[in-house]
Chains A and B, each alone.
Chain A
Amino acid sequence: MGLRGTKVPHKKNTAALASEALPTPPVVTIPMSMHIGKPAKPVVKRGDEVKVGQLIGAPDGFFSMKIHSSVSGKVKAIDELTMMNGMKVQTVVIESDGLQEKSDEVKPPVVSDFDSFVEAVKNSGVVGLGGAGFPSFIKLGVKELTRIDAVVINAAECEPYITSDTRTIIEKSEYLAKGIEAVRKFMGVQRFVLGIEDNKTEAIEKLRADFASTDGVEIRVLPSMYPQGGEKVLVYHTLGRMIPRGELPIDVGVIVINVTTLAFIGEYLETGMPLTEKCVTVDGSAIETPKNLNVPIGTPIQNLLDFCKTKAEPAKILYGGPMMGLAVPSADNPVLKQTNAIVAMDEKEAKPPKTTPCINCGRCLNHCPLKLDPRAIARAYKLGEAADLDRLCVDICMECGCCSYVCPAKRPLVQTNKLAKAMLRKYLREKEDKK
């Protein structure tokens, strides 16, 4: 039997729209942190001339990333920006000359074995493009390759509005094939399972046609049920394996990779152009003409809104979809590497619903894919009972939002779970320290 979840509105208004190029913005603001790990260090200074694909941020240690210029032009400033989590991060602000000249550094990589493949992935600057931003070279750079018997390609795209993965499949399926071939050749994995929700008919047809004769690639069409694209959910629904608490997909012999990430790796191996441009779905109730746009990374969100026109003043803007997306503080914030959508909501759509008392209906736990009990978690959190939170396994919560979505009392359950997770982490750390 499948895991629990909920039906959310699809609103895939842009699924059939070919992606368009956004005109090069006059200024881009490129943060040094668009990944999980240490921020990169700027290697350019004010006044430097830069070109597209040129390194502007070097990794600070192993768990960090390379960052490249998305435009050609002149570095205007090394500045600072407040990110969604409230952290300040350095940015490189570049004034574009509009020419989009390619840097001499851009050359197709020479890849001959596993190590050079991982090195190439590292040099491409790619991170998990499904939204997580985890450095791909770390994910793919596994020590014991023999542990992996399958790669799960995440093309579920279960969030409302977002269609950028769908468009990538339709428009760049040859690069996806190249990415798959590279992983097969250099990592020795023979089985690829691509999970996609059944509401993406055009993409499914394309995949079936293009991969019909490719051995070892399974196209698995899954019901459109949120959160089908959650890592644990997808691995369970494609391979029947449950990733244990506190462990990673690799512990059940799997690597999960987003379809756009893998297609980008395929593209990079051919062109050598690092991650400087992103396909972004622009939609939401405040947007007049929703589109998929190919956008230089660092482009202010406002430029995307202007290009797609707004029919109402945006009251809330999200990086990502409405279920798990992050509210951005300002429309001046830039498009990041891992941004797959910009959702701009009008006043009505953005208005948070009124919270009323919990009626104990149990909808939250009956819809939780991981069978957590948000009511009990909320109680334990309120009472400060960290040991109970441990027993209730709040740490495995993936914050998919099903509980909050189905709650008739509109309780902020995800928010409570996040706070409870932090409380549990602190408790476990202190317990560890005492030993």
Chain B
Amino acid sequence: MKKLMSSVSPHFHGAITTQKIMLDVIIALMPALIASNIIFGLRALLVEAVCVAVCVLSEWGFEKICKKEVTVSDLSAVVTGLLLAFNLPVGIPLWQAAFGSIVAIVVVKQLFGGIGQNFANPAATARIIMMTAFSGTMTTWVFPDGVSSATPLAIMAKGEGDLPTYLQMFLGYRGGCLGETCVLALLLGGIYLIARRVITWHAPVAFIATVALMSLICGKDVGYQLMSGGLMIAAFFMITDYSSTPAENIGKLVFGVGCGLITILIRFWGNYPEGVSYSILIMNILTPYISRLTRAKPLVGGGK
């Protein structure tokens, strides 16, 4: 008889794997991917392909150079690539998109230890760096017909230009980054992720509710605020990132509220029309403290 295997219990494991989680996120991003190509034309696909390819390649390359185990099969680099592309305007030069991808994977993710270890959201951070480095191309919004348009937030901030209708906003026909404009597609993806238990409702609901409530208090149009900028994509896909946000539900609520407040602060009183990326990065930095303060106490009983 062959030697029997020996290992510590449990001897059963759930079916879920990191790869399956990431695959679910990719599936949830598909409606937004399709919408981006309908709204902004097929160049969107080119930008998305470049970001995904460069993210995966740079993860593979970095791990090879550092003689680490190659983890590209977990598909997390694909998710980062898609999210970064969704945060770029359609006219972005491809080399800039590639540069941003390398920053996201190598600087933000791998240099901090790879998957699960990065304290900041790779896509949001890379977008901020690109905003600083390529401020011209990062804020030029063009439609397939060559018409350029300011984003609704810029229109509202400046008080000039025509705002799109609610329906246009909901379907995504407005100036903005590739994957952030179609609220319908993002909602579909978000609901899918919640239904699949990849994410919980806590951070998205806290974030959206905070922005809605503060807009109401400040006398702004709630509908435009919620459907503008990167709010919807951030709510479901970026402030729900595992490694850079709190793991427990109370922490997730705090994180969402914090993101909402900072977004409002920047949008209404800051120099930038849009503040979602910054709010994510600031809250990422606060995450260890939120986690510590909101951590569930072990059930030690006895009221101790």
A-side interface residues toward B, CB under 8 Å?
3, 6, 8-9, 160, 232, 242-245, 247, 252, 313-318, 322-331, 343, 345, 350, 352-353, 356-363, 365-366, 369-373, 375, 392-393, 396, 399, 401, 404-410, 412, 414-415, 418
Contact = CB atoms under 8 A, between A and B. Distances in A.
B12 interface: yes
6 contacts: A245-B302, A313-B2, A316-B5, A352-B5, A373-B298, A414-B8
A370 B9 contact: no
Nearest to A7: B14
A164 to B, nearest CB: 18
B12 A322 contact: yes
Contacts of A393: 298, 300
A79 B297 CA distance: 49
Nearest to B74: A356
B10 A404 contact: yes
B167 interface: no
A-B pairs with lowest CB-CB distance, top 6? A362-B247, A244-B302, A401-B10, A242-B301, A244-B301, A245-B300
B92 to A, nearest CB: 29
A415 B14 contact: no
Given A313-B2, A396-B300, A408-B21, A325 B116 contact: no
A302 B11 CA distance: 20
A252 B114 CA distance: 47
A362 to B, nearest CB: 3
Contact of A323 (B1, B4, B10, B299): B10
B9 A326 contact: yes
Interface string B1-30: 110111111111110111011000000000
Contacts of B76: 359
Nearest to B118: A360
Residue of B4, B115, B243, B297 with most chain A CB atoms under a 10 A cut-off: B4
Given A322-B10, A350-B11, A408 B20 contact: yes
Contacts of A242: 299, 301-302
Contact of B71 (A160, A356, A375): A356
B295 interface: yes
B304 interface: yes
Contacts of B116: 357-360, 409
Contacts of A362: 242, 246-248
A359 B243 contact: yes
Contacts of A9: 12
A282 B302 CA distance: 40
Interface of B: 1-2, 4-14, 16-18, 20-21, 71, 74, 76, 114-117, 242-243, 246-249, 295-302, 304
A399 B246 CA distance: 25
Given A244-B301, A360-B247, A323 B12 contact: yes
Nearest to B11: A322
A252 B242 CA distance: 39
Given A314-B4, A323-B10, A371-B298, 12 more contacts: A242-B301, A245-B298, A316-B7, A326-B9, A327-B6, A343-B11, A365-B247, A396-B298, A401-B10, A405-B10, A405-B12, A412-B8
Main secondary structure of the interface of B (DSSP, over half): loop
A316 B10 CA distance: 12
Contacts of A323: 9-12
B304 A328 contact: no
Given A365-B296, A396-B300, A327 B7 contact: yes
Contacts of A361: 21, 242, 247
A371 B297 contact: yes
A333 to B, nearest CB: 10
A8 B8 CA distance: 18
A407 B299 CA distance: 21
Nearest to A418: B8
Contacts of B20: 408
Nearest to B16: A408
B10 A359 contact: no
A343 B12 CA distance: 12
B298 A392 contact: yes
Residue of B6, B20, B76, B117 with most chain A CB atoms under a 10 A cut-off: B6
Contacts of B295: 373
A316 B2 CA distance: 10
Residue of A6, A313, A360, A406 with most chain B CB atoms under a 10 A cut-off: A360
A317 B298 CA distance: 33
Contacts of A408: 14, 16-18, 20-21
Nearest to A373: B295
Contacts of B9: 322-326, 399, 401, 414
B11 A244 contact: no
Contacts of A252: 301
A330 B300 contact: no
Nearest to A364: B247
B10 A414 contact: yes
Nearest to A235: B301
Given A316-B6, A356-B71, A366-B247, A3 B11 contact: no
B299 A327 contact: no
A414 B11 CA distance: 11
A6 to B, nearest CB: 8
Contact of B298 (A366, A372, A414): A372
Contact of A247 (B5, B249, B301): B301
Contact of A359 (B115, B246, B296, B301): B115
A228 B9 CA distance: 17
Given A327-B5, A366-B248, A405 B301 contact: no
